[in-house]
Amino acid sequence: MGGNSDVPLIVNGRRLDGRKMDELRPITIEAGVLNRATGSAYLTWGKNKVLAAVYGPREVLPKHETNLYGSIVRCRYMMAPFSTEEHGRAGPNRRSREISKVMREAFENVIIKEVYPKTAIDIYVDILEGQGSTRVAAITAAAVALANAGIPMKDIPIGISVGKIDNQIAVDMMREEDNFGQADMPLAIAPMSGDIILLQMDGKMTREEFIYALDLAYTKIGEIREKQINALREFFKKSSAAVENDNEQDNSDLNEIDQQVSKSSLQEPSQELSAENETMENETAGNENSEY
């Protein structure tokens, strides 16, 4: 937080990139972009470029960190040396370690750890290009990567920042606003409960400004959530789509899949589906096949 700069951050009600106080920068999210990782997501948020990878649940190494009754969650947030205006040193630093800690704690809130005891869930987020509010972009991306990996979670968290620039409360701080604004507040919220799972603040805000900022953050989480859901939906469509040189019959299947994915109402289940699929009630019933 620089506090004061000579450059006005708001001109004619618009911010340096033309946004209004309550506007988010454009966000794109793509799920399942990496081959090796269990789950992954690539996110752009304004000029931020974030890559999140999730490995796990997997064996815990070093072994002494193992929790017999649940998974452990580990998180590494890192900014690439080429991600900032000035060349940064590679490797973790105090800032990235603090961010890794608060991110990990946010994910520990939503990950259901009891499902895979004695395992580790490793979250790696790399900021490839950093342009303000990277930690909330990182959380938003990692949340999608975790869902993409099939890690059991209560909810898919959303990251968002609010702040104060030129005495006005604004949402989604860009780099200049981070550096020269008067206050910066990154948050992560679990949308189903509305609970706050990450909260930091730095700067100067009155009580009224603080409450206004919190409320403003809440109004924007729906927009971000939609991007996360679309990323997961697109990945599903992509991994379920037939390949292009299939015969005509397969293309008609693609249409059927498309409809199923986009329809919110339910279709009539077929006999075959119920016969072949395990029901929820007897998920862990014995083998269906006993001979080879």
Partner 1 sequence: MVMVIDELKKDVIRELIKNRKRDDGRDFNEYREISIKTNVISTAEGSADVKIGKSRVMAGVKLEVVEPFPDKPMEGTLTVNADLLPTAHEIFEEGPPNEESIELARVVDRGIRAAEAVDLKSLFIEEGKVWGVFVDIYTLDHDGNLLDTAALAAVAALHTMKVPEYKDEKIIRENLTPKPLLTIPTQCTFAKIGKEIVLDPTYAEELVADARITYCVGDNMLYAIQKAGSGSFSKDEIISLLDKSFEQRKYLLSLLNKL
Partner 2 sequence: MGKLVIPGDLLSNKPIRNPYTYIKDEKTYAAVVGMFDEEKSKFMPIKASYLPSLRDNVIGIIEEEKPIGYGVNLFSPYHGLLSSKSLRTTFNVGDIILAEVLEISEVKDIWLTKPTKLVGGEIIDVSPTKISRVIGKHSSMLNVLKIGTGSNIVVGKNGLIWIKGGNVPKAIDAIQKIVREAHTSGLTERIMSYLNVTQEMLEKFQRSPQREYY
Residues in the site for partner 1, rule: CB under 8 A? 1-3, 94-95, 97-98, 100-102, 105-106, 108-109, 183, 185, 190, 193-207, 210-211, 214, 218
Least separation, in Å, of the C-beta of 144 and partner 2? 10
CB atoms within 10 A of CB 157: 30
**The entry of partner 1, partner 2, none that residue 256 binds, CB within 5 to 8 Å by partner kind:** partner 2
Alpha-carbon gap, residue 167 to 264, rounded angstroms: 44
- Binding-site member from 98, 195, 226, 253 for partner 2 (CB under 8 A): 253
Nearer to partner 2, 56 or 130 (CB): 56
For residue 61, state whether it binds partner 2 (rule: CB under 8 A).
no
Query: What is the end-to-end Cα distance of the chain in Å, rounded?
Result: 67
Least separation, in Å, of the C-beta of 82 and partner 2? 32
Secondary structure class of 215 (helix, strand, coil): helix
Closest C-alpha among 118, 110, 104 to residue 57 = 118
Secondary structure class of 277 (helix, strand, coil): coil
For residue 270, state whether it binds partner 2 (rule: CB under 8 A).
yes
DSSP conformation class of 113 = G
CB atoms within 10 A of CB 82: 11
* The amino acid at 94: R
Nearer to partner 2, 103 or 183 (CB): 103
Show the tokens assigned to 36: 């090796």
| Residues in touch with partner 2 (CB under 8 A) | 38-39, 56-59, 68, 110, 112, 115-119, 147-156, 191-192, 229, 232-233, 236, 239-242, 249-250, 253, 256-257, 260-261, 263-264, 266-270, 272-281, 283-284, 286-289, 291-292
